[in-house]
Chain A
Amino acid sequence: MNVKPSVRLAFAVGCVWLLFSNVALAASDPTALVKAMLQHWRGDSSYTEITMRIHRPDWQRSMQLLSWTRGKQDALVRFIAPPGDSGNATLKLGPSLWLFNPKLSQVIKLPFSMMAQNWMGSDFSYNDLAKSEQIVTDYTHTFGSVKEHGKHQIFTVVSIPKPNAPVVWGKVILNIRDDDVLLDETYYDQNMKPVRQLKTLQVSSLGGRPYPVVMRMSQLDKPGTWTELHYTKGVFNLQLPGYLFTLSNLRNPRPWNIP
């Protein structure tokens, strides 16, 4: 059909505008971008299977675990390999953390004095597990820069802790891809010296979405000290039964299958 040039021009402009507006939308609200990143990472609910590899200068350990998350508050992690660690589980219900150990067949509530301890000997602390939402709620965000990398744009978000927020870091810098995939998260101490970093080593498809399937948390002042998470399976926004996130299930896991 014969469209008038002015209409075609308007259409073209409109397309371009639409194209950029998405980016512009995201580019105008860094907090929204961080929220989107978290949402992409966890969905409204998720089930993931992970191999956790702990690396130290003189030794290395590998463990396999299953993880369920519900909303922003609740999470259950259960270890299934190796046999020595199998059966250990951690349940997060709101702000509280509960531990289960099969040898003790007992559920223990984690006291606040142990919150900064390493979880299962890894470079993640119980705080990291309990406060995954903190990056949104306790920081103010601004954009650092935008870079082009292959087919994607990468947004640098500078997060500064709010005045009375319970955050020990001086700042946190996130690099998020335009498809909401987290590329890295660097934690700086109060002197603005980088201390630890969560870095995505590989992005591929998981559960139908681009996902950081290999992530490494390293201590920047201790070379050869890191923990890697390898996501081997992921299902997002699935129906999770309520009993999954209870203390009794923590103690006596009921059989569950991916629906």
Chain B
Amino acid sequence: MMGKSGLLAVMGWRNLWRNPRRTGLILVAVGIGVWSTLSFTALLQAWSASSLQTALIDMTGQGQIHARGYLDNPGVAHRMAPPRASLKALLKRPEVQQWASRVRVPAAIQSAYETLPVSLIGIDPAREQGLSFIATAVSAGQPLASADSPGILLGRELARRLRIKVGQRIVLMSQDANGALAERGFKVNGLFSATRQAEKRYVFVGIRQAQSMLGIGQSITGIAFNLHNINHLSRFLGQLRQVVPKLDVQSWETLRPVAKAVSQLSNSFILMWIFIIFVLMALGIVNTLLMSLHERVRELALLQALGLRPNLIFTQVMMESALVVLLGVVLGMVLAAVTVLAFHNGLNLGFLARGSEWLGAGQVLYPRLNISQFLGIGALIWVLGFTASLLPAWRIVHRVPIEAINRSPS
């Protein structure tokens, strides 16, 4: 049996290359189908992940810890102590990618021309790398050097409304730990670009400057963190809640319910698109295969007339089908891999935001090579192609040979 199938396989392979154009066209059909499905999936997933990332990097992070009551009424009255040994140990675990303490209170910012409400955020700049947008968003002047830096960072839009430039001074007013007015002059270190909302609402200072201005010593108002793998989040949150039962631990899903909904909606859309591409591609592949089989009716009938048993012909034809579809699938996977890797450094969709008010919200997509997904989809398409050839191949092979030969070759 092995010998026979081996022979059939070799015959099948050589058959394929006897008519390179036909084989080529099948390869192209399958290849395009696989390539488009895989690339689309990777790009759409990257887009969904990028949208989520854009939401999380807006000072949210994957999870946050606060004192109880802070989220309802964010102010120094609901501050918390800096993380103690047990909490710190948990945050220092390798599964945590970044974590940072912050002091965030409502404040008013004043220039010679305007007074505007803002959210004052005291940060440790080094710890915000990868956690929030501020680490990379400074577009003019200098970023904050350290947690002690005496300067302040404003959004470009806020600076425009205040009529303030880098190097000039503004006054920040807020309420201190005793309920009295806390105010201080800050020199503008730099301006940052981000979403319009962020530019209008956030101002950043060194965390220790914020603490001393508000008179809260070492206290903070919250901690934000990111894990390497967002799928481990709920387990980690459970562990956090055990270590600090008196504090309020929340995930991004409760902090940003709209981001969660958008993420879900994106996933639904992704599925829809993949289904669409799949159907389109399936129609194309089936059609191509059918046509190729029909074209070979005379040749197959001749083989039968020459004595080759229908079952063997059938097996051989199926082998050819299986081989060519497999080749096409592999070709498509390689092309898709190349496409994904080509955008390894990110596909910048910033040009889409140009001209609209969302300059600064430009998204960069990082498509990822998901091997199991690739193999899964590739296998699925291979099975599809194989199955699509079954019925027509069976019907063609079992037709009466004379009839077939007499058929006009059209």
Taking beta carbons and an 8 Å cutoff, which residues of A are in contact with B? 95-96, 112-113, 115-117, 161, 163-170, 187, 189-191, 195
* B324 at the A interface (CB under 8 A): no
Which residues from A are CB-within-8-Å of B170? Answer: 168
Main secondary structure of the interface of A (DSSP, over half): loop
Q: Is the CB of A190 within 8 A of B180?
A: no
Main secondary structure of the interface of B (DSSP, over half): strand
Q: Is the CB of A116 within 8 A of B115?
A: yes
Known: A112-B174, A190-B168. A168 touches B184 (CB 8 A): no
9 further interface pairs, Cβ-Cβ under 8 Å (given A96-B181, A112-B173, A166-B171) = A95-B181, A96-B180, A112-B174, A116-B108, A116-B115, A161-B185, A170-B112, A170-B168, A190-B165
Q: Is the CB of B111 within 8 A of A115?
A: no
Q: What number of residue pairs across chains A and B have CB atoms under 8 A from each other? A: 66
* B256 at the A interface (CB under 8 A): no
Which residues from B are CB-within-8-Å of A168? Answer: 110-112, 169-171, 185
State how many residues of chain B have any CB contact under 8 Å with chain A.
26
Query: Which chain A residue lies CB-closest to B187?
Result: A163
Q: How far is the CB of B266 from chain A (nearest CB, A)?
A: 38
Q: Is the CB of B108 within 8 A of A167?
A: no
Taking beta carbons and an 8 Å cutoff, which residues of B are in contact with A? 108, 110-113, 115, 117, 150, 163-165, 168-175, 180-181, 183-187
Q: How far is the CB of A234 from chain B (nearest CB, A)?
A: 30
Q: Is the CB of B150 within 8 A of A164?
A: yes
Which residues from A are CB-within-8-Å of B163? Answer: 189
The CA-CA distance from A165 to B186 in the complex, in Å, is 8
Q: Is the CB of A195 within 8 A of B183?
A: no
Q: Is the CB of A112 within 8 A of B108?
A: yes
The CA-CA distance from A161 to B112 in the complex, in Å, is 13
Which residues from B are CB-within-8-Å of A166? Answer: 171-173, 183-185
Q: Is the CB of B184 within 8 A of A164?
A: yes
Which residues from A are CB-within-8-Å of B186? Answer: 164
Known: A112-B108, A112-B174, A113-B117. A190 touches B181 (CB 8 A): no
The CA-CA distance from A199 to B186 in the complex, in Å, is 29
Known: A168-B171, A190-B164. A113 touches B184 (CB 8 A): no
Which residues from B are CB-within-8-Å of A113? Answer: 108, 115, 117, 173
The CA-CA distance from A111 to B184 in the complex, in Å, is 16
Q: Is the CB of A115 within 8 A of B173?
A: yes
Q: Which of B112, B165, B175 contacts A112 (CB 8 A)?
A: B175
Known: A113-B117, A190-B168. A164 touches B111 (CB 8 A): no
Which residues from A are CB-within-8-Å of B169? Answer: 161, 167-168, 170, 190
Most buried by A among B111, B112, B172: B112
The CA-CA distance from A95 to B183 in the complex, in Å, is 11
Which residues from B are CB-within-8-Å of A190? Answer: 111-112, 164-165, 168-169
Q: How far is the CB of B174 from chain A (nearest CB, A)?
A: 7
Query: Which chain A residue lies CB-closest to B106?
Result: A113
Which residues from B are CB-within-8-Å of A112? Answer: 108, 173-175, 181, 183
A sample of 9 cross-chain residue pairs with beta-carbon separation below 8 angstroms, ordered by A number, consists of A112-B175, A113-B117, A115-B173, A117-B115, A166-B173, A167-B169, A168-B112, A190-B169, A191-B165
Known: A96-B180, A112-B108, A166-B184. A189 touches B113 (CB 8 A): yes
The CA-CA distance from A125 to B168 in the complex, in Å, is 22
Q: Is the CB of A167 within 8 A of B185?
A: yes
Most buried by A among B108, B172, B175, B181: B181
Which residues from A are CB-within-8-Å of B187? Answer: 163
The CA-CA distance from A166 to B185 in the complex, in Å, is 4
The CA-CA distance from A117 to B115 in the complex, in Å, is 9
The CA-CA distance from A95 to B175 in the complex, in Å, is 12
Q: How far is the CB of A140 from chain B (nearest CB, A)?
A: 13
Which residues from B are CB-within-8-Å of A169? Answer: 112
Query: Which chain A residue lies CB-closest to B181?
Result: A112
Which residues from A are CB-within-8-Å of B108? Answer: 112-113, 115-116
Q: How far is the CB of A149 from chain B (nearest CB, A)?
A: 29
Most buried by B among A116, A163, A169: A116
Which residues from A are CB-within-8-Å of B112? Answer: 168-170, 187, 189-190, 195
Q: How far is the CB of A136 from chain B (nearest CB, A)?
A: 16
Which residues from B are CB-within-8-Å of A161? Answer: 169, 185
Q: How far is the CB of A162 from chain B (nearest CB, A)?
A: 8
Q: Which 10 A-B pairs have the closest CB atoms?
A: A190-B168, A116-B115, A189-B112, A166-B183, A166-B171, A112-B173, A113-B108, A166-B185, A168-B112, A112-B181
